[in-house]
Each structure stands twice: as structure tokens, then as C-alpha cells.
Amino acid sequence: MLNFPLWKQILTWLAVAAGLALAVPNLYYVQVEAHNDAAKSVEEAGFATTEQQAALDQWPDWMPSGLVNLGLDLRGGAHLLAEVQVTDVYKARMDGLWPQLRDALRDVRDQVGSVRRQPTQVAHELRVEIENAAGMAAAVEAARALASNVITLTGVGQSDLDVTAEGNVLIVQLSEAERAQVDQRTIQQSLEIIRTRVDTAGTREPTIQRQGADRILIQVPGIGSAAELKALIGTTAKLTFNPVVRRGTSEDQTPGAGNISLPSMDEEGVWYTVEEVPVVSGEDLTNAKGDFDQNGRPAVSFQFDARGARAFGDYTAQNIGAPFAIVLDGEVISAPVIQSHIPGGSGIITGNFTVEEANRLAVLLSAGALPATMTFLEERTIGPELGQDSIDAGRVATLVAAGSVSVLMIASYGLFGVFAVVALAINLGLIFGIMSMIGATLTLPGIAGLVLTIGMAVDANVLIYERIRDEIRNGAKNAARAIELGFERALSAIMDANVTTLITAGVLFFLGAGPIRGFAVTLAIGIVTSVFTAINVTRLIVTYWHNRRRPKTLVV
């Protein structure tokens, strides 16, 4: 008589039943997916259309409806790895600081003399040459007065500016703490803005994640190509209003210090030389929408926040009659002449827009500009047909693998082989059940992991059966004893063998990316479930069989 406590039997069967129930929705992937999509939009909208109701009816609500996510390589879609150029933000900060510093130094002019900004290669640095080196102490003090404390989680009040001197050059740098802070904020903003833009495009389940210090991973299933995705998120939509210095017909080779030469967006061959530091920028916008100007042409109307409104109001009041440029992503949309003081902080941008372009620009402007440009380090597009081919191939491979391993197991171990095959089937079901439950993603290498698991999962059974054979040969006193010893003695080998594989899966998970991570997840889940089915489920089946048949001799 083999013993298997009742509570353990119940727990084992419950676990199996739960796992299999969770796996079932994957057999009806299309219906369940439609059901889930409909359920989601119904919940948002509060009512169901006829179509949605039909989709809802395809799958009963009381059934589990979790599905294994399909990775990009199976579903098709685009993958981008972007690097955010945080130095852009440093540079903007230093450019913004220069007028303030210049004013501060003017106050101590009697000690430092005249000042001049020097060019520098370092983005987070401002170098100022002063005429009178003896006044450096005063200059440093004036610069330090501009610094404020960085508020960090650790609460250590570090200054945001490091001020040093080198001969007659005053060097102001963003401190390390401030740069870390800026990085954090920049990435966070970029993530949010990308999310908004991808969401407006209405694709399903995009993945937008920060990776490492300054990278963002974007995966969007179902989108046509990486180029399309790039167009959607890659546009910085950086809007600035800059004072115009002069207008020309070719690029200005000598724009002068603090000025840059920018091409016009609509007028061929027209270049504007503008002051590099903007009066106001898109960050100060609170709202933008597609609109029409007084002549009925498409335009974008916008509203500044309080700070932007004040800066814009002051500037227009002081510069009536002068032109200013509206610059979008390095191109001048238009350069109207200021007719009068513009208070209230609202305005309208006219250019050669179509209605669509105006609306798109408005969306980009209100979502906010990306705080920094992004460079794309990795782009992948996988067509949906290729994904479907891979799924089909994976399905065939899985069936062939399972079939041939089953035949081999039954030929080798007879009835016990059948038990192992039952355990293998349950194992496959459990893998899908657990993956659906935790919302894991199945990738192409993941399918390979699944196939590999089929081959390796029976290993535990083989170990146990061979051990039972050994015990019979070594004269175990009866069948029950041989089975018991076989299971017990094989355990340490099973554990050691599987823990080592689990270690490998762990390393793969932490160091791998995308598809490989999917492989690691499938492999790890496969290891855990295969140990469970080999030890618990097989043992339970063998116990039932033994207790019913009571064999005198055991043939494994």
C-alpha cells in the first residue's frame, strides 16, 4: 500500500485543475482576445455597441480570460531603442543661465570689468572670461548667489551649480547632483510624452520602458514599421519664439555670438538669423488646438501659462516693429512683425498648413515637446505574416516533439511511460496556465524553450524510473518499496539538476533582452512545473495504479 495523504492529493489536483483552467483561453485565442478588448472598451465607455456585445458573447464571463501575450516577433510590430540626449537639456539650462549671470556680473562691474562668454565643448558648462582677473573672487561670489539647492530624496542639500575659476575664466557647471536630477526628470518627461503620443495613435498594449540611465525601449505591436513609429514619437515638436536678428537668402556663416541661422520652413532659400536663447518656448504652453486664422486658413491657436504670458507680453511691449521667429524643430514657421503689445498670453500660428498638419502640430504641442532629442540605437520591424509563420512552425515543432518523445517513453517504460506522457501533457497545460496568469510574453525563442522543456521534462521521470529499476534489481522487498525508494532516491539528482538549470534561466532573464527574456521565462516556468508534475502528479498516478492493482512484481 502506497501512502499519499489525502490533503496532498486534493492540493495536487486543485493545482492541476486551476492551471489547466487558466490555460484553456489560449485554445480560443482569437475569440478571447476579442472578448477582452470589447470588455475593456465597454468598461471605459460605460455602454456596449452591438459589435462589442457580440464579441463579449464569444467567451463566457465566468471563465478565466487571461491570455499568454504574444511577443513582437510572433505578433508583428515595431521595436525601438532610443537614447535621450540629456546633454540637450544641460545646454538649454546653461544658455538660460547666461543672461542672469551676465546681469549679476554687471552689478559687480567695477571689480570684474567687462565680461565675455567663451565657447565650450562641455554641455553642462558656462565659461565666462572676465577682464580683471583680480576681481575673480567677486565674480565667483556673484555666480554662487545664483545657485540654489538641489532637492533630492536623500535630502542632502547640494548646490545645483559648481563655480570655479581658472585664471581669468569663470567656470560655472551644473553639479553632479543636479545633473542626476535633470536626467531623471528628462527621462520621466520623455516617457510620459512618448506614452501620450503612442496612445493617441490607438495601438494595443504598447510597451514603453526606461532602460538603463538614459534609454527608452518602445515596443508597439501591430504598427506597420519602425519608421512609422519613429515619425510618431521621434518628432521633438520643440516650439520656440526667438528674436530675429536678420533675414538672408543663404545660411549665415557668421551668425555672431549667441545667434544661429535657421532655414525657413515654407520659403525656399530663405534663412533667418535669430538669437539662440528664446523669449518663450513650447514648455510654457498650456493648450494648443487646430484653428483657422482671420482669412480662414488652417492655423494653430495656443495659450501660454502665467510665466510664458508675462515673458511674451513684456517682450512684445518692448519690441514693437521688430520681427520675431516662430521656430519649430529648427525651422522657422513664420517670422511676423510685432504690431502691438500682446498681453493675455494667447496667440495663433499661421503657416502653410493643411488642416491635418495644423491638428497634428496642435496635438504634438499640447502633449508637450520632448525635452531632448532622441537618437535611435536599435530598430526592428517584424511583419505579422512572418510572426504567424513562426507560430505555425512552432506549433508543428511542438506537436512533433511531444509525439516522438511520447512514443519513446511508452516504448521504453510501458505503462509507466504512459504515466509520464500524461504528466507531460499536464505540464504543458500548466506552463500555459502560469504564463497566462502572470501575463508573461511568449516569444519565438520562448516557443523553443517550450519544445526544449518537452525533451527535458521527462528527464525527471526517466531518473525516477531508472532508479525504481535499480531498486528492483537490488532486491527491494516489494513493489511498493521499490517505487517509494525510486522516488526518494532520485529526488536529490532531480533537484540538483533543475536548480542548476534554473540558475541559467535566471542569468538569461537578468542579462537578456526582449525575446531572450521570453525564453528565460518559459524555461524557468517549465522547470518548476516539470518538477511538480514529475514528482507530484506522476507519483500520484503511480500510487492510484499500485493501490488498485496491487502488483506482486513490478515491471517498469
Partner 1 sequence: MAWRFKLAPDKTSFDFFRWQWVTFGGSLMLSVMAIVAWAVMGLNYGIDFKGGTTIRTESTVAVDVGAYRDALQGLPLGDISITEVFDPNFADDQHVTMIRIAAEDEAEAVTPEQIQQVEEVLRAAIDPNMTFPSVESVGPKVSGELVWTSVLSLIVTSVAIMIYMWLRFEWQFGVGAVLALLHDVIITIGVFAIFQIKFDLTIVAALLTILGYSINDTVVVFDRLRENLQKYKQMPLREVMNLSVNETLARTLMTALTTLLAVGAMLIFGGDVLRGFSLAIFLGVLFGTYSSVYVAKNIVLFIGLDRSDKAKKSGTPDEFANIDA
Residues 437-456 interacting with partner 1 (rule: CB under 8 A): 444-445, 447-449, 451-452, 454-456
Query: Can you tell me whether residue 343 is helix, strand or coil?
Result: coil
- As measured in angstroms, the least distance from the Cβ of 222 to partner 1 is 15
Distance between CA atoms of 234 and 214, rounded to whole angstroms? 16
Site for partner 1 in 328-347 (CB under 8 A): none
365 contacts partner 1 (rule: CB under 8 A): no
Closest approach of partner 1 to the CB of residue 397, in Å: 4
CB-based contacts of 115: which residues, under 8 Å, 6+ apart?
102, 105, 106, 128, 129, 130, 131, 139
Binding residues for partner 1 restricted to 121-150, rule: CB under 8 A:
none
Residue number with CB closer to partner 1 (277 or 452): 452
Cell 561670489 belongs to which residue?
141
Q: Are 182 and 174 in contact (CB under 8 A)?
A: yes
* Contact with partner 1 (CB under 8 A) among 390, 522, 530, 533: 390
Among positions 253-282, residues that touch partner 1 (CB under 8 A) are none
**260-278 exposure pattern, b = at least 16 Cβ within 10 A, e = fewer:** bbbebbeeeebbbbbbbbb
Residue nearer to partner 1 on the CB measure, 10 or 499: 499
Binding residues with partner 1: total (CB under 8 A): 86
Q: Which three cell numbers stand for residue 52?
A: 462589442
DSSP letter, residue 294: T
Give CA–CA dist 403/396, Å, rounded: 10
* Segment interacting with partner 1 (CB under 8 A) among 27-35, 162-170, 271-279, 379-387: 379-387
> CA-to-CA distance for 407 and 131, rounded, in angstroms?
91
Smallest gap, in angstroms, from Cβ of residue 556 to partner 1?
8
Binding mask 169-208 for partner 1 (x = CB under 8 A): ----------------------------------------
In the complex, least distance from residue 422 CB atom to partner 1, rounded to whole angstroms: 16
d(CA 527, CA 156): 47
* Beta carbon nearer to partner 1, 8 or 102: 8
* Identity of residue 417: G
Q: How far is the CB of 316 from partner 1 (least distance, A)?
A: 40
Q: Is 433 in the site for partner 1 (CB under 8 A)?
A: no
Q: Which is nearer to partner 1, 22 or 187 (CB)?
A: 187
Q: Are 241 and 272 in contact (CB under 8 A)?
A: no
* Cell numbers describing residue 440: 508573461
Q: Write the DSSP string, 403-420.
A: HHHHHHHHHHHHHHHHHH
- CA of 446: how far to CAs of 48, 68, 74, 336, 381, in Å? 36, 11, 10, 58, 19
186 burial via Cβ count (<10 Å: 0-12, 13-18, 19+): buried
Cell numbers standing for residue 150: 538641489
Alpha helices in 260-354 (DSSP H): 306-318
Segment interacting with partner 1, rule: CB under 8 A, options 33-41, 45-53, 260-268, 468-476 = 468-476
Residue 108 Cβ vs partner 1, minimum distance, rounded to whole Å: 45
**The three cell numbers locating residue 117:** 562668454
Single out the segment in contact with partner 1 by CB under 8 A; choices: 42-50, 110-118, 345-353, 491-499.
491-499
Least gap, CB of 201 to partner 1 (angstroms): 17
Residue ranges in 285-324 that form contacts with partner 1 under rule CB under 8 A: none
468 vs 417: CA distance, rounded Å = 13
**Of 122, 146, 169, 493, which lies in the binding site for partner 1, with binding defined by CB under 8 A?**
493
The SS3 assignment for 124 reads coil
Near partner 1 by CB under 8 A, which window of 125-133, 324-332, 351-359, 409-417? 409-417
Q: Are 208 and 198 in contact (CB under 8 A)?
A: yes
Q: Is 14 in the site for partner 1 (CB under 8 A)?
A: no
- C-beta of 86 vs 279, nearer to partner 1: 86
Q: Rule CB under 8 A: say whether 383 interacts with partner 1.
A: yes
| 2 near partner 1, judged by CB under 8 A | no
Select the residue interacting with partner 1 from 396, 438, 439, 547 (CB under 8 A).
Answer: 396
User: 510-539: which residues touch partner 1 (CB under 8 A)?
Assistant: 511-513, 515-516, 519-520, 523, 535-536, 539
Q: How far is the CB of 448 from partner 1 (least distance, A)?
A: 6
Could you give the string, one character per residue 36-75, with x where binding to partner 1 holds by CB under 8 A and - elsewhere? -------------------------------------x--
Range in contact with partner 1 (rule: CB under 8 A) among 158-166, 186-194, 223-231, 251-259: 223-231
Q: How far is the CB of 466 from partner 1 (least distance, A)?
A: 4
**Using alpha carbons only, how large is the chain's radius of gyration in Å?**
34
What is the rounded CA–CA span in Å between residue 467 and residue 17? 29
CB half-sphere exposure, 53, CA atoms < 13 A: 5
